[in-house]
Amino acid sequence: MSDQNKGAWRQLWSTFFGKTWPMWVGGILLGAFNVFLFLIKSPWGGSGTYISWGQNLFRLIGILGMDHTTVLTRNLYGVLGTMTVFGAFLGAMLSKEFAIRVPPAGEMLKGFLGGCFMAIGCTVGKGCTIGGYLSGLPALSAGAIPLAIGFGIGSWLALHYLLWEMEKLPKMSSGKSVTWLAAKGKGGAWQPIVGVIIAAFLLIGGSLFFKGDRVFTWFAIMGLILGLISQRSRFCVTRSFREPFMTGDSEAPVAVLAALLVGLLGFTIIKYMGIGAMHPLGERGVALTWVNPNFWLNGLVGGTIFGIGMVIAGGCAVGTLWRMGEGQIKLWFAGLGFALLAPISSKWIAPAFLNILPEWMHMPVFLPDYFKYWGAVLILLVIMVLWYVFVKWNERTGKFSAL
């Protein structure tokens, strides 16, 4: 290969793995791949991964009556989320950013507790930041609105707790931290090599394992892609709710809005035309896909609990997955708390709460049933524009920012 060709390949590699991608690019790509997931079977979701992990763990050790749990490799969202972790791992290895980062004990405790909060929040609110919001809003589900408001309230509460903790309990997050396997200069050249080998193994092994099942094959591939994009762009829904009230930075809110806009366009076309994955209920079934029963009070309460958890943990459902992939141990503890409590909350805590509420407080509401498609899309666009104007104004003025 000539020096000129080698230079071109190095430049191409550097474009993808030499520097972090703009977060808005990640938002657009993730929104587009979310539409592809809908066309294949159903949209992107994050909490189902943790529920599957937890159920399979309890099934393995034979407790809590989960003997009839679907095996992880036969659960679409168990596969999707697990491969998202691997995709983020590949992104970190190929860009020489992987390292096992062990924080102080207090931070790991906060990660675990944050994961527990997210487990309760997503099961009570019938959705997380991905399935309930990033997919729920484009799905024209009214419940995504109180859920998102809850995320904002929870983020504000958790942020003020963390500021109080820094002042009153400074030792909570202090202590020794350790980093292993970090790439240092030319010594990190092994990471891209290992990344390429593992990528080939996953792609070949996955296609053979799911041979004959195109949906599972595609969900596995999509998981790798979603994880890699999330890691390379540092895409973070948690930051989109936290930063306006912390530093005022608008990068994450704008990136999430980009993902929502792409998803809204794609989902609306799919639902309006009744195209995509076959549904046993026909076009109506396609239209009601991802319209969750979380309008309104359970969405608001669940979103608030989830918002507290994601800020304390430092990552939402998918943010935890891709940070796990790049070696952040705090987020492994968050994932553990999420996985352990999500099946328990889904089986006992959330039903107990929902039984208290009258039905009209936790209903599935499909906006086009009340406002037609054009009206529903217009309402959501107005909400998104108002949020964009607010975060940009707040970035300039800092009126609602704590720092």
Q: Where are the domains of the chain?
A: 21-397
- The predicted pLDDT at position 323 comes to 98
- The predicted pLDDT at position 278 comes to 60
- The predicted pLDDT at position 281 comes to 67
Give the largest CA-CA distance in the chain: 72
Task: Find out whether 291 and 364 touch, Cβ atoms under 8 Å.
Answer: yes
- The predicted pLDDT at position 11 comes to 85
Q: E strand or H helix at 179, and its extent?
A: strand 178-180
Q: Which two tokens stand for residue 316?
A: 């939402």
Q: E strand or H helix at 329, and its extent?
A: helix 329-344
Q: E strand or H helix at 180, and its extent?
A: strand 178-180
Please spell the DSSP secondary structure of 335-364, one letter per residue.
HHHHHHHHHHIIIIIHHHHHHHS-GGGEEE
Q: What gap in Å lies between CA 220 and CA 78, rounded to an integer?
A: 10
- The predicted pLDDT at position 403 comes to 77
- The predicted pLDDT at position 120 comes to 98
- The predicted pLDDT at position 239 comes to 96
- The predicted pLDDT at position 276 comes to 63
Q: What gap in Å lies between CA 49 and CA 55, rounded to an integer?
A: 10
Task: Find out whether 247 and 391 touch, Cβ atoms under 8 Å.
Answer: no
Q: Which residues of 29-56 are buried (b: 16+ CB within 10 A; e: fewer)?
A: bbbebbbebbebbbbbbbbbbbbbbbbb
Residue 177 CB-half CA count within 13 A: 15
Q: E strand or H helix at 101, and its extent?
A: strand 100-102
Task: Find out whether 293 and 284 touch, Cβ atoms under 8 Å.
Answer: no
Render each residue's pLDDT in the chain as its tens digit; 403 residues. Answer: 566 666 778 888 888 999 999 999 999 999 999 999 999 999 999 999 999 999 999 999 999 999 899 999 999 999 999 999 999 999 999 999 999 999 999 999 999 999 999 999 999 999 999 999 999 999 999 999 999 999 999 999 999 999 999 999 998 888 899 999 998 877 788 999 999 999 999 999 888 899 889 999 999 999 999 999 999 999 999 999 999 999 999 999 999 999 999 999 999 999 999 886 566 667 888 999 999 999 999 999 999 999 999 999 999 999 999 999 999 999 999 999 999 999 999 999 999 999 999 999 999 999 999 999 999 999 999 999 999 999 999 999 999 988 7
- The predicted pLDDT at position 79 comes to 97
- The predicted pLDDT at position 6 comes to 67
First to last CA, the chain: 53
